[in-house]
């Protein structure tokens, strides 16, 4: 990988990133460190999956072509790491262990030896990307914008407007769950995609009518409308909630009353239903 604008000329500073996994951690450290310098081009070469002497041979063969070079490594296997250190020292090359000192420092604190298995940090990266995917899913399939997503959702939240569907969806997305949510209105027939959805994915959200009236009235004020609009009329709200409960009964899905609940409390109750347990509270 090359820093934009740079080239691989011999006079240029070169950072070799060597890892028995992907090397992303060490490369991020390298780029963060270089950002502290106002001038000087640099070139980054990353060598992933370096797990034996054969791979080290290739790294050090290429190292010899660069007069100004820094070697950063995240190699967890002791034999490969020690060989890398010895080779770098013999050539007079500065080598920095990005991960090892932290692992060594944690060992006495945690009172257990490290696993020393390559690629464990990559598993953390995969978990991160699953969360990102789930958040993108929640945004794309928020508020019934695209009902095609219901088929691949882990959870489908149903409810009238302002029953915390979106914030609960985002909270659960940060736990790597793909959540879609669908608004309910008495005038709008139930979408076929909802009727076809597995019942064990569906959860309804309700709230006390008077509380919802206050929430909607504040919402109207924020967008510059008067609080007397039909959207915040308590009679209309009761009609919507009655319709929602009829839908939930017809679908046979569990219902969470979000009145007075924080987003995380609602999310935990949703999860308890889906996992077949008894929701807290």
pLDDT in tens, 15-52: 999 988 878 888 888 888 887 776 557 788 889 888 88
pLDDT in tens, 139-197: 999 999 999 999 999 999 999 999 999 999 999 999 999 999 999 999 999 999 999 99
Residues 14-50: b if buried by 16+ CB within 10 A, e if exposed: bbbbbbbbbbbbbbebbeeebeeeeeeebbbbbbbeb
DSSP string, 89-129: HHHT-EEEESSHHHHHHHHHHHTS-----TTHHHHHHHHHH
User: Which residues lie below 8 Å from residue 173, measured CB to CB, with a gap of 6+?
Assistant: 131, 134, 135, 137, 138, 179
State pTM to two decimals: 0.59
Structural domain count of the chain: 2
Residue 86's domain spans which residues?
13-118
| CB-CB neighbours of 242 under 10 Å | 11
List, in sequence order, every beta strand (DSSP E) within 29-83: 42-47, 69-74
| CB-CB neighbours of 145 under 10 Å | 12
Answer whether residue 83 is part of any domain. Answer: yes
Residue 238: strand, helix, or coil: helix
> For the residues 268-272, what does the mean pLDDT come to?
95
Q: What is the DSSP letter of 278?
A: P
> For the residues 198-213, what does the mean pLDDT come to?
96
**141 and 258 inside one domain:** yes
- Dist. CA 28–CA 72, nearest whole Å: 11
pLDDT band at 87; cut points 50, 70, 90: very high
- Among 118, 151, 182, which residue terminates a domain? 118
**131 and 252 inside one domain:** yes
Looking up residue 173, the CATH number of its domain turns out to be 3.40.50
Answer whether residue 5 is part of any domain. Answer: no
- Dist. CA 134–CA 120, nearest whole Å: 22
**92 and 132 inside one domain:** no
**132 and 223 inside one domain:** yes
- Dist. CA 156–CA 175, nearest whole Å: 15
Q: Which residue has the higher pLDDT, 36 or 239?
A: 239
**65 and 184 inside one domain:** no
């Amino acid at each position: 990988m090359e820093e934009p604008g740079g080239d691989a000329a011999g006079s240029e500073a070169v950072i070799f990133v060597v890892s028995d996994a992907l090397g992303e951690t060490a490369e991020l450290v390298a780029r963060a460190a270089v950002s502290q310098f106002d001038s000087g081009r640099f070139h980054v070469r990353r060598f992933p999956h370096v797990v034996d002497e054969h791979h080290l041979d290739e790294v050090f063969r290429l190292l010899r072509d660069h007069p100004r070079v820094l070697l950063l490594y995240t190699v967890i296997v002791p034999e490969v790491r020690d060989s890398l250190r010895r080779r770098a020292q013999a050539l007079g090359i500065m080598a920095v262990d990005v991960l090892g000192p932290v692992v060594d420092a944690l060992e006495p604190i945690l009172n257990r030896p490290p696993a020393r298995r390559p690629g464990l940090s990559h598993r953390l990266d995969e978990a991160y990307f699953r969360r990102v995917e789930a958040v993108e899913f929640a945004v794309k399939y928020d508020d019934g914008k695209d009902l095609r997503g219901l088929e691949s959702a882990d959870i489908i939240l149903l409810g009238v407007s302002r029953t915390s569907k979106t914030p609960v969806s985002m909270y659960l997305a940060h736990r790597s769950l793909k959540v879609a949510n669908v608004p309910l209105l008495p005038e709008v027939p139930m979408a076929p995609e909802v009727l076809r959805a597995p019942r064990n994915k569906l959860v309804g959200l309700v709230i006390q009518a008077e509380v919802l009236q206050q929430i909607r009235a504040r919402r109207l004020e924020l967008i510059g409308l008067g609080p007397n609009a039909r959207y915040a009329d308590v009679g209309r709200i009761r009609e919507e909630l009655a319709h929602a409960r009829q839908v939930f009964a017809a679908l046979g899905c569990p219902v969470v009353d979000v009145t007075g609940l924080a987003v995380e409390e609602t999310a935990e109750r949703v999860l308890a239903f889906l996992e077949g347990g008894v929701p807290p509270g």
